[in-house]
Amino acid sequence: MTVQTTSAPIEKPPVTEVGAIGWLRANLFNSKSNSVLTIVCFAFIVYVIQAVVPWAFLNAVWTGTPKDCQAPGAGACWAVIGEKNRFTLFGRYTYDEQWRPALAIGLFLLLVGASCIRRLWGKALIWAWVGQVFMWAILMWGGVLGLTFVNHEQWGGLPLTLMMSVVAIVVAYPIGIVLALGRRSDMPAARGLCVAYIELIRGVPLISVLFMASVMIPLFFPEGVSVDKLLRAQIGFTLFLSAYLAEVVRAGLQAIPKGQYEAADALGLGYWAKMRLIVLPQALRLVIPPMVNSFISTFKDTSLVIIIGLVDLLNAGKIAVNDPPWRSFYVEMYIYIALIYFAFCFTMSKFSQRLERDLSKATSR
Amino acid sequence: MTPQRQARREQLAAAPINIEVSHVHKWYGEFHVLRDVNLAVSKGERIVICGPSGSGKSTLIRCINRLEEHQKGNIIVDGTELTNDVKNIEVIRREVGMVFQSFNLFPHLTVLENCTLAPIWVKKLPKKEAEAIAMKYLERVRIPDQALKYPGQLSGGQQQRVAIARSLCMSPKIMLFDEPTSALDPEMVKEVLDVMISLAEDGMTMLCVTHEMGFAKSVADRVIFMDRGEIIEQNVPDEFFNNPQSERTKLFLSQILNH
Ligand SMILES: Nc1ncnc2c1ncn2[C@@H]1O[C@H](COP(=O)(O)OP(=O)(O)OP(=O)(O)O)[C@@H](O)[C@H]1O
Ligand SMILES: [Mg+2]
C-alpha cells in the first residue's frame, strides 16, 4: 500500500489551452482536416459578405422612386418596401382604417411579450388573451363603438396570417389531444374513428385539404347558409393541424412509463383525472419541441391560402409588387416578407426553448 | 410459542376477514400465471409473500386492487367483490394503498402535491385540509422538510417514504407493498423498513412482497411461499423458516439465506 504524503502543487493550465489562441487551437485547428475546413469556410464567408454587403447596404436605395432604383450601380431597392408597406401588411383593408389592424397587431405583440415573462403567468394572463380575442373582433370588424364596419372579405396581410395561425393552433391543440387519447383508448369504436381521421388527413397534402374545405364544407350546412371563404380556410387549417398534433401528443403519451398510470390507478383516480393531472402534463412537456415545430409549420403554411384567393402576408406582398413601376424589385419585397416570417418563427422557437429549460429546471430532472 | 405470539394469533382469529381470495386463476395469453390461489387475510394481519422470480407474487397482489384482472374465481376486498363494475373498482382502490418497487412518484409535482393529489381529486377534500393530512403523514415518514421539493431531488429511500406517505393520505384500510426495498441502495433499506414496521405496529393490514427475511421474521404474522403461480406453503414465520415442509421452499430458503 502507498500513502501520499506531499500533495502535488496547484498549477495554472498550459498557455496553449486557454485564451483566444487556445480556443482557436482546440476548436478550429485541432487537426489537419479541420484546419483545411476552417480555411475553406472562412474563404466562403468572406466571398458571400463581399458579394452581399455592397448590394444590400452600401449601394442600396433606401427611399425614392423606381427611377432612383434603376440608376446604374444601384443596389437593393429597399424603397419598394416603404412604398408598398401598408398594402403588404394590411392587404385590402380600408385604407383610412388601417390603424385598427395595426393596433390589433400591437396588442398581440404586447401580449406575446407578456407571455414570455414567467412572473406574469396566471389567471390574469389567460383572461388577457380571452379579452384579446374580443378586441380583435371589435377592431377588425368594427361596426360598434363608432368604428365603421369592415367586411372580413377585405382582411389581409399580417393580421390575416397571424389570426389564421393563432386560431388554428388554439383550436387544434385540444382537438389533437382528444384524438391522441382516442387513438390509445380501449374502446374500438373511438380508436377506429380517431385512427381513420388522423391517417386520412395526414395522407393528403394541405393544399387538397384546403380545396376540400372550400368545396365540401358548404355541403355540410343547410342550403342558404353560406360559410365564407375565410372560415372555410380556417376550418381546413385546424383540421389539418389537429391530425399532426394528435401524433405529436401520442408520442408523448407513449413515453410516459406504465408505472405512472398504475400509481394513478392505485390512488383511485378516474380516467380523466389521471390523464389531466398525471399523464398529459408530463407528456405535453416532453413534446414541446415537435409541438412547436408543428406550430411553426402551420404559421408558414397559412401562405397556401393564396390558392383559394385570400390575401395573406405573402400574397399581399406579391400583389404589391405587381405594380408595373416596382415590378422588378420583387426580390427585396420577398426578403422583407421572409424577415417578418423569420421574426415570428424564431420567437416561437426561442420561447419554446426557454419554456423547456424553465420546466426542467423546476423539476431538476 | 411465546405468550405474545399466542395472544396475537387469537386476536387475529377473532378479527373479521378483510381480503378473501378464492380459487383465483389468471392467464397472460396462454401462460397460466395464477393457479387456484386461495388466501384469506384478517383485519390487521401482516403477510409477507416470497418466492422465486416470475412466480406470480406481483400479479397476485396487483389483482387485489385490480391493476390486473383475474379471469376465474373471486376476490372480495373489505366486503366488496371485484367485478368489471367500475364503481366497485373505485371503491376498492380508495381502501387499498399500494407501494411499488420503482416508487412511481409523479415527477412533475412536488412531494406535497404528490400527497394531496388523490385526497383533493378523489376524496374531494378542500386543499387546506388535504395539505394538513399530507404534512401529518410526511412527518410520520420523517421527511416534512422535503415537502416542497420535487421527487427527482430526493434519494431513493426518501422517495419510497414519500410514496408510502402518498398512499397513507387516502387513509387506506389495506396496504400492498411490491418489493418496496428492492430498488434501494443497502443503506436506505432500513429507513423504509422502519416506516413499514411502525405501520404494522399501528395495526394496518399489510400484504408485502419482499425478500427481506429479517423483516418477515420480526413483523409478519404469516409468510406465504409462491412458486409457478401457486401458493406452495404458508406458516407463521418461526415455523416457516425453521421447519419448512416442501422441497421447493427448502430450496428457495437455502438460496436466499445463504447470501
Ligand atoms: N403483462 C404481462 N404479460 C405477459 N406475461 C406477464 C406479464 N406480467 C407478468 N408476466 C409474466 O408472469 C409471470 C409472473 O410475473 P410476476 O411479475 O407476478 O412475478 P413475480 O413473482 O413478481 O416476480 P419478480 O420477483 O421478478 O417480481 C412472469 O413469468 C412474467 O414473465
Ligand atoms: Mg414482482
Q: Which pLDDT belongs to residue A306?
A: 87
Mutate to test the pocket of ligand 1, among B27, B28, B30 (most ligand atoms within 8 A of CB): B28
Residue A346 located in a structural domain: no
CB-based contact A267 B93, cutoff 8 Å: yes
Nearest to B168 by CA among B191, B135, B146: B135
Of A170, A175, A155, the closest CA to residue A115 belongs to A170
Say if ligand 1 is within 6 A of residue B28 CB.
yes
Chain B residues with CB inside 8 Å of A273's CB?
A: 121-122
pLDDT at res. B259: 60
Query: CB distance from A79 to chain B under 8 Å?
Result: no
Please determine, for residue A281, whether its predicted confidence score (pLDDT) is greater than 70: yes
Nearest CA to ligand 1 atom 25: B53
Element (H, E) at B74: strand B72-77
Question: In this predicted structure, what is the pLDDT of residue A1?
Answer: 60
The alpha carbon of residue B259 is apart from the nearest alpha carbon of chain A, in Å, by 30
Cα B240 to averaged position of ligand 2 atoms, centre (Å): 21
CB atoms within 10 A of CB A272: 10
- A 245-264 residues with CB < 8 A to B: 257, 259-260, 262-263
CA distances for A206 relative to A235, A239, A240, A354, angstroms: 12, 10, 7, 30
Helix (H) or strand (E) holding B32: strand B31-42
For residue A164, pLDDT over 80 is answered with yes
Contact A269 B118 (CB under 8 A): yes
Instruction: Give pLDDT, residue B120.
Output: 96
Phi and psi at residue A74, to the nearest 5° = -70, 145
Number of domains making up chain A = 1
How far is residue A102's CA from residue A81's CA, in Å, rounded to a whole number?
Answer: 17
Residues of B in contact with A269 (CB under 8 A): 117-118, 121-122
Q: Check the CA dihedral B143-B144-B145-B150 and report its sign.
A: positive
Q: How far is CA A334 from CA A70, A71, B111, in A?
A: 18, 21, 53
User: Residue A211 falls within a domain, yes or no?
Assistant: yes
Q: Which residues of A touch B102 (CB under 8 A)?
A: 259
**Chain A positions in Cβ-Cβ contact with residue B106 (cut-off 8 Å):** 260, 263, 278, 282
The closest ligand to the CA of B52 turns out to be 1
**Range B34-39, long-range pairs (CB < 8 A, 24+ positions):** B34/B59, B34/B60, B34/B63, B34/B70, B34/B229, B35/B228, B35/B229, B35/B230, B36/B73, B36/B230, B37/B73, B37/B229, B37/B230, B37/B231, B38/B231, B39/B224, B39/B231
Q: What is the mean pLDDT of chain A?
A: 87
Helix axes B186-201, B156-168, angle to 10 degrees: 20
- Measured in angstroms, the CA of A27 and the nearest CA of chain B are apart by 35
CA distance A351 to chain B (A): 20
Q: So what's the pLDDT on residue A226?
A: 67
Q: Is the model's pLDDT at A147 over the cut of 90? A: no
CA atoms of B210 and B222, how far apart (whole Å): 13
Instruction: Report yes or no on A163 lying in a domain.
Output: yes
Q: List chain B residues with CB under 8 Å of A265.
A: 65-67, 93
pLDDT tens-digit profile, chain B (259 residues): 677 878 888 888 888 888 999 999 999 999 999 999 999 999 999 999 999 999 999 999 999 999 999 999 999 998 888 888 888 898 899 999 999 999 999 999 999 999 999 999 999 999 999 999 999 999 999 999 999 999 999 999 999 999 999 999 999 999 999 999 998 998 889 999 999 999 998 889 999 999 989 999 989 999 999 999 999 999 999 899 999 889 999 999 988 877 6
Taking CA A326 as the corner, what is the angle to CA A323 and CA A328, rounded to the nearest 5 degrees? Answer: 115
Q: B58 in ligand 1 pocket by Cβ < 6 Å?
A: yes
Asked whether residue A365 carries a pLDDT value surpassing 60, the answer given is no
Residue type for A217, please?
I
Query: Could you report the per-residue pLDDT of A308-347, keeping only the tens digit for each?
Result: 888 888 988 888 888 888 888 888 889 999 999 999 999 9
Interface test with chain B among A262, A267, A280, by most B beta carbons within 10 Å: A267
A191 burial class (0-12, 13-18, 19+ CB within 10 angstroms)?
A: middle
Only one residue has cell 421572409, namely: A338
pLDDT at A15: 67
Instruction: Specify the range with the lowest mean pLDDT, choosing from A22-36, A217-231, B222-236.
Output: A217-231
**A269 in reach of chain B (CB within 8 A):** yes
Nearest residue by C-alpha to atom 18 in ligand 1: B56
Subunit contact B117:A259, Cβ cutoff 8 A:
no
Residue A22 within any structural domain of the chain: no
Nearest-CA distance A180 → chain B (Å): 21
Look at residue A219 in the predicted model and tell me its pLDDT.
77
pLDDT grade for A247, boundaries at 50, 70 and 90: very high
Does the pLDDT value for residue A268 go beyond 60? Answer: yes
Domain assignment of residue A107, yes or no: no
Please tell me if residue A356 touches chain B, with a CB cutoff of 8 Å: no
Look at B121 and A263 and tell me if their CB atoms are within 8 Å: no
Sheet holding B96-99, edge to edge: B96-99, B174-178, B205-209, B46-50, B222-227, B230-235
A259/B97 touch (CB, cutoff 8 Å), yes or no: no
CATH number of the domain bearing residue A205 = 1.10.3720.10
Identity of the residue in B106, B153, B170 whose CB atom sits nearest the CB atom of A268: B170
Cβ distance B107 to A282 less than 8 Å, yes or no, reads: yes
Q: Is residue A36 part of a domain?
A: no
Cα(B34)–Cα(B32) distance, integer angstroms: 6
- Record the pTM: 0.86
Domain that holds residue A288: 157-332
B29/B32 Cα distance (integer angstroms): 8
Residues of A in contact with B105 (CB under 8 A): 263
B55 lines ligand 1 (CB under 6 A): yes
Task: Determine, for residues A267 and B167 on separate chains, whether the beta-carbon distance falls below 8 Å.
Answer: yes
Q: How far apart are CA B67 and CA A261, in angstroms?
A: 10
Q: Is residue A248 part of a domain?
A: yes
Closest chain A C-alpha to B242 CA, distance in angstroms: 36
**A57 in any annotated domain:** no
Burial of A321 (0-12, 13-18, 19+ CB in 10 A): buried
- Tell the residue nearest (CA) to atom 27 of ligand 1: B53
pLDDT of A227 reads 67
